[in-house]
Amino acid sequence: MKPVQIKQDIYWVGGIDWDLRNFHGYLTQRGSTYNAYLIMDEKITLVDSVKHYLCDEMFERISHIVDPAKIDYIVSNHVEMDHSGSIPMVKKVAKNATVFTSPKGLEGLTAHFGGDLNYKVVKTGDTLNIGKRNLTFVQTPMVHWPDNMVTYIPEEKLLLSNDAFGQHIASSERFDDEYPLHIILEEAQKYYANIVLPFSSQVQKALQTVGGLDIETICPSHGIIWRANIPTILEQYKKWSANKTDNYAAIVYDTMWHSTEKIAYAVQRAFEDMGIHTGMFNLQHTHISDIMTHVMTAKYICVGSPTLNNGMLPTMGAFLTYFKGLAPRDRIGLAFGSYGWSGQSVSQVEDVLKACGFPTLSSIRLQYIPDEAKLQSITEQLKGELS
Ligand code: FEO
């Protein structure tokens, strides 16, 4: 368990969570890391920590460089316990260390760990001199909690961005020129879709600030460190936070006896005929957090459920609850589904799409098993609306 040098006297000392597969409902099929960073300067400074059960791993990495008891400063960029969970243990060995945090961070850390950790509050623009380097703090509220801030080291052109620009990837590689870029970007998109999306307007404000900084390295709190592809990830964040969509339809459905599935494919045929690419997402086979990755850039959100017991299928209820909470904006919705006798599911799905603020295409609701003529008429009707 060794540290990884990022720059002269700056080290990654985090923890690798190889087995993590669920991060509050988000399927993390590649595991994750909690990235803590140690800066060896006149004041030895630890930026963020790791989940409590990886604390020993972090201490082992730190101990290759310095006795953890000698840590002078701890910077807590974010209260969520995947990053703050080991701060009380660090304070137990580094008894005189000062914990620097934002005003909301003070509230959060105090609520989590009590009020005796020697806190000092910092705000946007405040600078902490640690010797040869200065740490400048920028509050980034709601990226991802109200307390978030980032830490910039101008002498190193290095940004410690916490949740922003992160990805859930467990790996022994630390840098973006050591790991397949397409996987990093895919996981960064999934991370944004499932964690950051509701806070896109705050991301845009943060990007304005960050965009004015001279940055050579971005050290997020999860996954791979950016040093070779910084313009690429900044450009992606600009696109995602601006809610820019592609000419693409995400077709999300569940089905009981394959009738709603048949409608889903008739809907797909209409989009493909109109030159609009599609993705088919059967909730029985695809996790909702993976669907969100694709939904995030989809202009059209098409959602289908048959009726079960006067309502939509429970899988669809779960998806729509998750989807609505992540608050995608400026999409076009379409509700569809089959039914046997009562048929309430389609209007319920449509109500959710409208509650998201989406204009909707004409909903599609067919009884029992639709034959090819009915399916073809759905396709033609939808093509007419799309033309
Ligand atoms: Fe990675 Fe909001 O914590």
Of 3.40.1160.10, 3.60.15.10, 3.10.129.10, 3.40.50.720, which CATH number belongs to 4-241?
A: 3.60.15.10
Q: How far is the CA of 144 from the centre of ligand 1 (A)?
A: 7
Q: How far is the CA of 310 from the centre of ligand 1 (A)?
A: 38
In ligand 1, which atom is closest to the CA atom of 166?
1
Amino acid in position 284: Q
pLDDT at 212: 87
Question: Which superfamily does 246-386 belong to?
Answer: Flavodoxin domain (3.40.50.360)
Predicted local confidence at residue 291, as pLDDT: 98
Q: Whose CA is nearest to atom 3 of ligand 1?
A: 80
> What spacing in Å lies between the alpha carbon of 363 and ligand 1's midpoint?
38
246-386 matches 4-241 in CATH topology: no
| Segments of the chain with pLDDT less than 50 | none
Q: Locate the ligand 1 atom nearest the alpha carbon of residue 222 and give its number.
A: 1
d(CA 233, CA 82): 23
Nearest CA to ligand 1 atom 1: 163
* 33 Cα–ligand 1 center, Å: 11
Ligand 1, residues at Cβ distance < 6 Å: 78, 80, 82-83, 144-145, 163, 221-222
Residue 130 CA to ligand 1 center (angstroms) comes to 26
Q: Which are the catalytic amino acids?
A: 24, 78, 80, 82, 144, 163, 191, 222
CA–centroid distance, 196 to ligand 1, in Å, is 10
User: How high is the pLDDT of residue 209?
Assistant: 86
Query: Which ligand 1 atom sits nearest the alpha carbon of residue 195?
Result: 2
Write out the chain in H/E/C secondary structure: CCCEEEECCEEECCEEECCCCEECCEECCCCEEECCEEECCCCCEEECCCCHHHHHHHHHHHHCCCCHHHCCEEECCCCCHHHHCCHHHHHHHCCCCEEEECHHHHHHHHHHHCCCCCEEECCCCCEEECCCCEEEEEECCCCCCCCCEEEEEHHHCEEEEECCCCCCCCCCCCECCCCCHHHHHHHHHHHHHHHHHHHHHHHHHHHHHHHCCCCCEEEECCCCEECCCHHHHHHHHHHHHCCCCEEEEEEEECCCCCHHHHHHHHHHHHHHHCCCEEEEEECCCCCHHHHHHHHCCEEEEEEECCCECCECCHHHHHHHHHHHHHCCCCCEEEEEEEECCCCCHHHHHHHHHHHCCCCECCCEEEECCCCHHHHHHHHHHHHHHHC
Q: Which residues have a Cβ under 8 Å from the Cβ of 99 and sit 6 or more positions away?
A: 74, 75, 76, 87, 91, 109, 117, 118, 119, 120
Which atom of ligand 1 approaches the CA of 221 most closely?
1
Q: Using the mean position of ligand 1's atoms as its centre, give its distance from the Cα of residue 22 in Å.
A: 13
For the chain, the structural domain boundaries read 4-241, 246-386
* Per-residue pLDDT at 329: 94
> Which atom of ligand 1 is least distant from the CA of 162?
1
81 CA to middle of ligand 1, Å? 8
Res 165: pLDDT? 96
- Atom from ligand 1 closest to the CA of residue 163: 1
pTM: 0.95
